[in-house]
Amino acid sequence: MHVPVLQKEVIKYLDPKTNENFIDCTIGGGGHALAILEKIEPNGKVLGVDWDEEIIRRLKIKNNLILVCDNFADLKKIIKKYNFENISGVLFDLGICSWHLEESGRGFSFLRKEPLDMRYDIQNAKLTAEKIVNEWSEDALERILKEYGEERYARRIAGKIIEARKLRPIKTTFRLVEIIKGATPDWYHRQRLHCATRTFQALRIAVNDELNNFKKGLNQALEALEPHGKLVIISFHSLEDRIAKNFFKNQAERGLVKILTKKPITPEIEEIKINPRSRSAKLRACLKF
């Protein structure tokens, strides 16, 4: 089951009230959206967006919940299409949904033997993780591992991928994990963070163009908010958090927002015990003037 991260804090900073309207740009398992809906009864609405058609299909239809399968990079277009107005808050929860890791069968997890797919939009997107590892140049592989994964052994891993694919195509998660282990020193395999974590993160970001989509979505979210509306972002790695931090800082310097979180809010120990995946979550919030 998908456990919504920092739910108490999301409600605190969005501060939903009766009959207000909100957008959940990453509805996923629906936990945050349902908590917001409880606060905005009877006439408030939530526009729930997710790029994955299967995620939308699995969600139960609720009163006043509008479900949309689309990319939040096109948020302005989505808002116009559904004539969604008077928006009091927008939420981005950038964590990967538990369903993707545990049930999708698309290779998001290095703990399961699955095809190297990693697409959210399997209906329309053409680029897969398999295509990247088997067709991209060594320099391109090294670049995404460094930039998107912040992987210290990016060059060595990229080199081993090139060597391995000459023997036969790299098609499964387990084969890729073997290659990563062969490219990295033994001590690296004994760290708290699995040695394949950063490579898998980098591939997922590249496949779905996550950072560029996030930047596009942020600008449109702020524009869509009513005065005194709130923008709340939960990120899970430093790249996303840096984008959120810099965006808030730039908008504050222009006098467009007030930053509500001087430092990012992180989960309490109790939440991490219940949901270990929440440990790297950081929440930032701002209020639009």
- Report the pLDDT value the prediction gives residue 277, as an integer from 0 to 100: 87
Q: What is the rounded average pLDDT of the residues 175-193? A: 97
Reading the block at residue 282, the tokens are 């950081």
Q: What is the rounded average pLDDT of the residues 236-252? A: 97
Tell me where in the chain the CATH 3.40.50.150 domain(s) lie: 7-99+214-288
Task: Output the CA torsion sign for 61, 64, 70, 72.
Answer: negative
Q: What is the rounded average pLDDT of the residues 188-204? A: 97
Question: Any long-range contacts for 36-41 (C-beta under 8 Å, 24+ apart)?
Answer: 36/10, 36/11, 36/89, 36/91, 37/62, 37/63, 37/64, 37/65, 39/11, 40/16, 40/64
Reading the block at residue 281, the tokens are 């979550």
Using a pLDDT cut of 70, give the percent of the chain over it.
99
For residue 1, pLDDT over 90 is answered with no
18 Ramachandran zone, left/alpha/beta (phi>0; psi -120 to 50): beta
Residue (of 84, 59, 69) closest to 122 by Cα position: 69
Burial 231-267 (b: 16+ CB within 10 A, else e): bbbbbbbebbbebbbebbeebeeeeebeebbeebbeb
- Report the pLDDT value the prediction gives residue 122, as an integer from 0 to 100: 95
Tell me where in the chain the CATH 1.10.150.170 domain(s) lie: 106-208
Binning pLDDT at 50, 70 and 90, where does residue 32 land? very high
Binning pLDDT at 50, 70 and 90, where does residue 2 land? low
- CATH code linked to domain 7-99+214-288: 3.40.50.150
* Contact predicate 95/181, CB 8 Å: no
DSSP string, 146-199: HHTT--TTHHHHHHHHHHHHHHS---BHHHHHHHHHHHS-GGGGGSSS-TTHHH
Q: What residues have CB less than 8 Å from 222, skipping those under 6 apart? A: 90, 231, 251, 256, 257, 288
For residue 61, pLDDT over 60 is answered with yes
**Rounded CA separation 204/95 (Å):** 12
Q: What is the rounded average pLDDT of the residues 202-229? A: 98
- CATH code linked to domain 106-208: 1.10.150.170
* Contact predicate 3/220, CB 8 Å: no
* Residue 21 φ/ψ, nearest 5 degrees: -115, 140
Report in angstroms the alpha-carbon separations of 247 from 60, 130, 152, 186: 34, 33, 27, 39
The overall longest dimension of the chain from CA atoms, in Å, is 62
For residue 3, pLDDT over 90 is answered with no
Using a pLDDT cut of 90, give the percent of the chain over it.
97
- Report the pLDDT value the prediction gives residue 231, as an integer from 0 to 100: 98
Helix-then-strand count for the chain, H and E: 13, 7
Q: What is the rounded average pLDDT of the residues 161-178? A: 98
Binning pLDDT at 50, 70 and 90, where does residue 204 land? very high
**Rounded CA separation 189/265 (Å):** 30
At 87-135, the pLDDT tens digits run 999 999 999 988 999 999 999 999 999 999 999 999 999 999 999 999 9
* Contact predicate 285/230, CB 8 Å: yes
The alpha carbon of 36 is separated from its chain's Cα centroid by a whole number of angstroms, namely 19
Q: Which of 57-61, 156-160, 217-221, 254-258 has the lowest mean pLDDT?
A: 57-61
**Rounded CA separation 138/183 (Å):** 14
